[in-house]
Structure 1
Amino acid sequence: MAELLFIPRSVEWNETSITILNQQKLPFQTEYLELKELEDVWDAIATLKVRGAPAIGMTAAYGLALAAQQYNGSIAEFQKQLQKARTYLASARPTAVNLVWALDRLVKSVAKATSVNEAKTTLIHEAIRIQVEDEDTCRAIGEYALSLFQEGDRVLTICNAGSIATARYGTALAPFYLAKEKGVHLHVYASETRPVLQGARLTTWELMQAGIDVTLITDNMAAQTMKTKHINAVIVGADRIAANGDTANKIGTFGLALLARSFGIPFYVAAPLSTIDLSTKTGDDIPIEERNPEEVTHLAGTRIAPEGVNVYNPAFDVTPNELITAIITEKGIIRGNYKTALPALFKEEESIETT
């Protein structure tokens, strides 16, 4: 019998506002915020109150739809205001491609609107559709990913690619939820993910809520853990996948891929098609966000480094495609020549849309 799990949600639409789970307060406080203005949405994305590429995209889509409800005048003026809001929201986080993907999808949905009221209604419906589709997508990713694991496997992950980073289930964490539902035991090892500690604060919290077996390690324990705990696989999410399969994900992912190659452990990337950016040819073309130095020099508000020390704080790194065993999408498991396989996924999508 399938087990009913508590799976927290990160984003909800309320007609006149957006409710988000404030991920900055986890795991000590479960706080929900009401976003009512465009600036509130931008701030929530930029300050990591909402995070995870799919969740960022959903929040931005709802934010654009929410802001558009205040726009009036001619349809031409409406489109200008919409583009301005789209550009503003897109500036909140530069690396996660889902942000721009969702915003552009909404703008495209009203390109042929003949009235402002029609456009406003369409934007809301399209944003809701993105969230519904993402839940189905995550479930499909989870089913494909679970097929790669066996009873008792020990799997390492980094950052948080779970239910609170998506509509439901997550991407890299989806197989663990589905395994729990089906009575398959998997043991998850979660890297803490310095400097913002998404693994320690978020991944462990949400997996424990669902009763999933999880062990926390610090980032510099990864090699020792792979060796002594007999890790069977590494699975991570993605913020952007280039056309050749190079993948940007949370800082520390590249290091795990190198370790996995050294130990002969498969390294999997789990991500929806919306994270694949065919316009970005290689990982060298992916913009890497650098964040506030205080994320490194301070811990829980307390300074842990000398005043005036130089800080390098990239939020992401890029894992080269040759280190990736497979990319798991809602359309299946991709291996081998990513330059050929990834574009083929979109040709299939185009074929479905035209039939």
Structure 2
Amino acid sequence: MYSIPFNQPYVTRNEWVYVQDALAQGRLSSNGKYTHKCQQFFESTFGFRKTFLAHSCTQALEMAALLLNLGPEDEVILPSYAYVSTANAFALRGCRLVFADSRPDYPGIDETEIERLISSRTRAIVLVHYGGVACNMDPILDLCKRYNLFLIEDAAAALDGYYLSKEGDARPLGSMGDFATFSFHETKNISCGEGGLLVVNNPSFFQEADWVWNRGTNRSDFDKGNRSSYEWVHLGSAFAPSEIAAAWLWAQLENLAVIQKKRAVVWHWYQTHLKEVLPSFSGQLPVIPTFARQNFNTFYLLMDQRRDREDLIAYLKSKEVLSVFHYRCLHLSPYFRDKYQGKPLVEAEKYQDRLLRLPVFADLDVNRLEKKLLS
């Protein structure tokens, strides 16, 4: 049992109020009052063009792959240091996965490595804004334009994170790709237990995305009174979550600024005081690139050696503080390693072996944490 868990979902106390209101509306299935409120929030707050709530970020990625009609003749470039959902969505369509390395200073995809991986079969680039910190978007957007490629932002942990463009404006993560996906898993800043969002910024896909989200039917036209019935017009599935999940999510979104402020306190405490309370450990503090405005999702240390990470995990456990490492490289996974034919991805493997994540959640009492570490 840990006195300081790795994560603890934040509760605003309005969640049950809205769930009960959803029940009073007489509709607990998908696409009701709270679904609309959440989707309108994302579109008006962050400028996302069209949004669709989903059961998970995994499903949102699968929707994007389906909308692009990707198949075995297509290649998709993506980071190896990423969660398995990032790859699965495209592997399920039969795509050839082309893995890219991470940046030396930060776990996001190395934008300078992408162009050499582009071939005549490349259809899309998928990037991951690791821990809510932006990838270097201007060079990637330029590559997509020059080679006519689609861009998918896997922004699972990046809600309310921003990219500072070369023009000097702050662009919300998820607003720049043809598609973007977000997670509302309990480990994320905003949570409904399990949940996700597909963002469609490319107008060419607005209609098809609606069909896919509605199980492949033109149900939306029927709901608007434009048809006497609805029918099967496209491949699709049951991607939309229930109103219970949407109502819970709405309570969280109403408190986004409060949650972010609380998480920022924890993150900055680590950045300022961690070396004082862990003087014998020599891990590097996280790097936030100058082009990124982070959202305080993740705080990590980059240890000098894998053994150092194991020692620190054990030490923190003795203090009743739970710390965890993160992804295993996808190109080295049991499923894919026999298929991988590229060069060693040195930086990605560095993060696999040496990165350690520390607890960050809105209700974490840093004074209590400090006492635990100094005891």
| TM-score, structure 1 as length reference | 0.31
Instruction: Answer with 1 or 2: which has the greater Rg.
Output: 2
Greater helix proportion: 1
Structure with greater contact order relative to length (CA < 8 Å, sep ≥ 6): 2
